[in-house]
Chains A and B, each alone.
Chain A
Amino acid sequence: MEAEVVEAELVLPAYFSFKRIQSHEKYPKGQSSARRFKHLKQIIQAENFQNYPPDEPNYVNIESPPSMHPCKRICDITGYEAPYLDPRTKLRYANTEVFKIIRSLPNDHVQRYLSLRNAAVVLK
């Protein structure tokens, strides 16, 4: 290790006196940790929240409902109020100059703008 790295104590040491079991014993090298742990979706599924009475608050219960107000439509490129939708690219735009810009965008930019709104076409 280089001197300045050691001095800055950047790296986590491998041994701690206050731990009963050290990390390298618990997590042997080579196994990817991602597979070891359940993601949130899996956790929620495993909990079986539907078995419990619906009155009690739990993680899934307290989610917010969809909005009652009408959806606000703003232009994808500029952020102004956008009453128009481009049928080819499905982007919202505010006026004709923005429309010209939209039509000259390369396709991956179009997809990125759409994915800002979570409206991109995802091919699986």
Chain B
Amino acid sequence: MPFISQTRRQSDYNLFPSATPIVIDNGASYFRIGWAGENDPRVVFRNIVQRPRHKATGETVTVVGDHDPALLKYFDCTRSGPRSAFDSNVVYQFEIMEYILDFGFDRMGANGSQIDHPVLITECVCNPVYSRSKMAELLFETYGVPSVAFGVDAAFSYKYNQQLGICARDGLAICPGFTTAHVIPFVDGEPIYKGSCRTNIGGYHITDQLKQLLSLKYPHHMTKFTWEKVEDLKMEHCYIAPDYAAEARLFQNGTKEAEEKTRTWQLPWVPPAVEEGPSEEELARKAAIRERQGQRLREMAEAKRSSRINELENELQGLEFLLRQLERVEEEDIPSFLEETGYVSKQEVESAHAKAAQALRKAKGEPKGEQVGIEEKIDSSTNEKFPLINVPDDMLTPEQLKEKRRQIFLKTTTEGRQRAKQKRIEEELERERKNQEDEEQRLENPELYLEQLNIRYRELSEKVEQRKRLKTNGNHTNGGMGRGERLNAAQKERMRLLTTAAFDRGKGEDTFGANDEDWQLYKLMSKDNDDDDDGVDPDEAELIRVTSRLQEVDPTFVPKLELGLSQPVVEVPKFRPLTKEDFQVVLGVERFRCPEILFHPSLIGVDQVGLDEMAGVSIRRLSCETQEFEDRLTKSILITGGSSLLPGMTERLEAGIRMIRPCGAPICVFRASDPILDAWRGASSYASAYQFASQTFTRMDYYEKGEDWLREYQLRYTI
């Protein structure tokens, strides 16, 4: 059950006489303050302080304890995390302690010029004198308290339970707290600190462990795991397994019991609004619209095409008419005749005619097979365009020579272009043929084909990878390992050239560079490098082709990702819509894994004994003589403290202590009646006793007797 603070201001401060002590249980988790003799503390709150800045005014204010998170929006909390006055279980930050005491006294309703009541405040076991004296100083100087007493909370709890009859005068108190866990033996009702022992593991560490485990397991929900929420989770769901290994095995095997023990926390989740598939009419309407648009487009295209065809036909007709006219006209009259039309010679007209015919045919959508024939025709026509080429040189004038050279150049370029085109066509035909063959092969024997492809793929990929590895090995060496060993072939070649060049010069001086030919060396080297790069391409191209073919053919094929290192193939997370399950946090093993650190602090890296062994250590430290005495101790073991509320604690402790004690020793473990409040209740009943005043010390005592006396000061618990 999550703990709720009580911070309402009390109004009956003045009703209490000056002799009534105020009892404070100053714990690392909660601060409890109240009047002596009462059953419950009046004011309870978390022992933390925040100092945010007010957004509007900019001043830094102090906020103590838990508070309504909604009100915090007026404050800028970025630089102020919650701070505690405690370091482990010792108070060290007295400024924060002062704020807390301010708040506590204020909520008790204190008024008047000073706190006029004796104060009983709890501290940790064997509190260092520095902390104690600072606390005393704070109370005496700032608050004007007349007298102060310090006590240990675990001892108060034990005394209280002893009064209730749960435990005997001799016994052990095991107190797992917020930051530490103590075991204190009691003899004759007094705690023997010599035999006590402390491990630095507490509820704080359990919550921290749980928080981190959940954040690592569900990184995208990290913001939901706040400290308070995780603490609530811990209090509600964590338990202590009687035997860790057995429980873990249950979960590992996935048994039904494990299923029952798993708790799931559903985070708030809103399913995305599901769009209903557009209804039938919508679909029909959209289809009709699309159809109409398509129709319109087609009509427009048709119209354009037919108009273009008409144009071309007209042009063609015109040209044909011109040609026919030309045939009728005499040879000499051609130039003058053609001047009007804009064509220079008959060949031009013919070529223009041919082009127009070709375009017309394309527009009409006929196969391009005829194109080849037309090209040839163009070929022959262009040949005649260069009349001067075939004429021998000596018959030409200088201008004509220049003209001839130009024509030769043009001719060679056009011929080159045509040759390239030819080659391309041939290659395409070849590829088509190969593809068809491939298809046939696939159709007749799919499995064999697939196998062959796979084999080919593997070979190729290996080759490529190897080459890459060789290459990159030269570039990505780690650190300065022997440079010479890792160079690849190109770099080796380079080195060889350089060294031979240097070597060839002769044993005398170094005259490299004096001649210009020496620098040709570098040209050689860089060329070598390039060659190496080009050589890889055909293999890689082949690999790509085979990969794509495989992807088409084989549905189960997954291309190997080309990583530099041989890592296992990581599946790219497929994007699918988030489901309800994504927003569930499953608490399975964590439920009992986190509290386990109380018994095995080594799981967290703290090299100390766990709770069950601590009992053994404590008894050993007492160095009591008789077995019978030890039995008396183990017969009444009390568990108190906040962390003892975890279910399963008593059974586990009993089993653990039985392991350490000799066979047959009596072991009885009791849980305190109210592990959280018992410390305060014990202190309260102690303070209301008649002799309490003799156990306190006043301001005068503190100043006169000095620090040594303060160190020796111990409360006597049986009065």
Q: Which residues of B contact A119 (CB under 8 A)?
A: 605
Q: Residue A109 at the B interface, CB < 8 A?
A: yes
Asked whether any CB of chain A lies closer than 8 Å to the CB of B426, the reply is no
Closest 6 A-B residue pairs measured CB to CB? Answer: A118-B605, A79-B589, A57-B193, A40-B87, A12-B62, A79-B593
On whether the beta carbons of B64 and A12 are closer than 8 Å, the reply is yes
The verdict on B461 contacting chain A, using a C-beta distance below 8 Å, is no
**Mask of A11-50 contacts with B, CB within 8 angstroms, 1/0:** 1110011111101001101000100111110011011000
Q: Which of B188-208 contact A (CB under 8 A)?
A: 193-194, 196-200
User: Contact at B114–A67, with CB atoms within 8 Å?
Assistant: no
A3 to chain B, nearest CB (A): 11
B589 contacts A78, CB within 8 Å? yes
How distant is the Cα of A46 from the Cα of B130 in the complex, in angstroms?
A: 9
The verdict on B581 contacting chain A, using a C-beta distance below 8 Å, is: no
Q: Report chain A residues within 8 Å CB of B661.
A: none
The reply to whether the CB of B144 lies closer than 8 angstroms to some CB of chain A is: yes
Within 8 A of A (CB), among B86-109: 87-88, 90, 92-96, 98-99, 102-103, 105-106
A68 contacts the other chain (Cβ, under 8 Å)?
A: yes
Q: A16-B106, A19-B142, A43-B92 are known contacts; what are 15 more A-B pairs with Cβ within 8 Å?
A: A2-B74, A8-B71, A10-B63, A13-B106, A17-B112, A18-B105, A55-B194, A56-B194, A62-B197, A64-B197, A66-B608, A67-B613, A74-B603, A79-B248, A79-B593
A67 CA / B609 CA spacing, docked (Å): 4
Query: Could you jot down 27 A-B contacts, CB within 8 Å?
Result: A2-B74, A8-B71, A10-B68, A10-B71, A11-B62, A11-B63, A16-B106, A19-B102, A20-B113, A20-B143, A20-B144, A26-B98, A43-B128, A47-B129, A55-B194, A59-B127, A63-B200, A64-B197, A64-B199, A67-B600, A67-B609, A79-B593, A80-B249, A80-B251, A80-B589, A81-B245, A94-B252
Asked, given contacts A43-B130, A79-B248, whether A12 binds B102 with beta carbons under 8 Å apart, the answer is: yes
Judge if B146 is at the interface, Cβ distance under 8 Å: no
**CB–CB A64/B617 < 8 A:** yes
A1 touching B144 in the complex, CB below 8 Å, given contacts A8-B68, A80-B251: no
Contacts of B610 in A (CB 8 A): 67
A47 and B128: CB pair below 8 A?
yes
Query: What is the 8 Å Cβ interface bit string for chain A, positions 67-78, against chain B (1 contact, 0 not)?
Result: 111011010001
Indicate if B351 sits at the interface (CB-CB under 8 A).
Answer: no
Question: Using a Cβ cutoff of 8 Å, how many contacts connect chains A and B?
Answer: 186
Q: Is the CB of B198 within 8 A of A1?
A: no
Q: Which of B209-217, B294-302, B341-349, B638-646 contacts A (4 or more CB under 8 A)?
A: B209-217
Residues of B within 8 A of A (CB): 9, 54, 56-57, 60-64, 67-68, 71, 74, 87-88, 90, 92-96, 98-99, 102-103, 105-106, 110-115, 125-131, 141-144, 193-194, 196-200, 209, 212-213, 216, 219, 244-245, 248-249, 251-252, 567-568, 570, 589-590, 593, 600-610, 613-614, 617
Min distance, Cβ B106 to any Cβ of chain A, angstroms: 6
Q: Contact residues of A with B, CB < 8 Å?
A: 1-2, 4-5, 8-13, 16-21, 23, 26-27, 29, 33, 36-40, 43-44, 46-47, 55-59, 61-69, 71-72, 74, 78-81, 94, 100, 103-104, 109, 112-113, 116-119
Whether B61 pairs with A38 at a CB distance below 8 angstroms is: no
- Cβ of A71 and Cβ of B87 under 8 Å apart? no
Q: Tell me which residues across on chain A come within 8 A of B127, comparing CB atoms.
A: 59
B415 to chain A, nearest CB (A): 60
- Bound-state CA distance A92–B252 (Å) is 16
> Are B212 and A116 within 8 A (Cβ)?
yes
**Residues in B neighbouring A13, C-beta threshold 8 A:** 106
B112 to A: closest C-beta gap in Å: 6
Report if A12-B605 is in contact (Cβ < 8 Å); known contacts: A5-B71, A18-B105.
no
In the complex the two chains form, what is the Cα distance from A44 to B87 in whole Å?
A: 12
Tell me which residues across on chain A come within 8 A of B617, comparing CB atoms.
64-65
Alpha-carbon separation in the docked complex, A78 to B217 (Å) = 9
Nearest CB to that of A11 among chain B residues? Answer: B61
For the complex, give the distance between the alpha carbons of A29 and B60 in Å.
10
How far does the alpha carbon of A10 sit from the alpha carbon of B95 in the complex, in Å?
A: 19
The answer to whether A63 and B93 touch across the interface, beta carbons within 8 angstroms, is no
On whether the beta carbons of A63 and B568 are closer than 8 Å, the reply is: no
How far is the CB of A109 from the nearest CB of chain B, in Å?
6
Check A27–B95 contact: CB distance below 8 A: yes
Residue of B nearest to A57 (CB): B193
Roughly how many angstroms separate A12 CA and B317 CA in the complex, as a whole number?
A: 103
**B residues in contact with A2, CB < 8 Å:** 56, 74
- Whether B128 pairs with A64 at a CB distance below 8 angstroms is no
* Distance between A66 CB and nearest chain B CB, rounded to angstroms: 5
The answer to whether B613 and A69 have CB atoms under 8 Å apart is: yes
CA A62 to CA B60, docked complex, whole Å: 41
A47 to chain B, nearest CB (A): 5
Q: Given A12-B62, A39-B87, A62-B197, A18–B111 Cβ distance below 8 Å?
A: yes
Contact of A40 among B88, B115, B603 (CB under 8 A): B88
